[in-house]
Amino acid sequence: MCKQFRQFSLHHLSQVLTRNGCFSEYLNRFGKTESDCCALCWAAPDGAEHAVFQCDAFHQWRPKPAST
Ligand SMILES: [Zn+2]
């Protein structure tokens, strides 16, 4: 794993784990965005849980359920 990729991954992982990052829910709390809606799918609130588990924009990176 190259150093640049590892830094990129740790940066985003820390945002998800702390819930403090480029999420509209977080930014809106401090007046940095006009709404707490996701800029990609317009769902609200756009928090870490939305980005990891729900947002349609990231579905291709989620593991698929095992088939039986
Ligand atoms: Zn979304």
pLDDT tens, residue by residue, 28-47:
999 999 999 999 999 999 99
Is residue 40 within 8 Å of residue 55, measured between CB atoms? yes
Tokens (6 digits) for 56: 């349609």
Give me the average pLDDT of each 10-residue run along the chain (68 residues). 72 92 94 96 94 90 82
Q: How far is the CA of 57 from the centre of ligand 1 (A)?
A: 6
For the chain, which residues make up each domain, given as ranges? 12-61
Q: How far apart are CA 66 and CA 68, in angstroms?
A: 7
Q: How far is the CA of 6 from the centre of ligand 1 (A)?
A: 24
pTM higher than 0.75: no
Tokens (6 digits) for 2: 């190259």
Peptide bond before residue 63 is cis, with ω within 30 degrees of 0: no
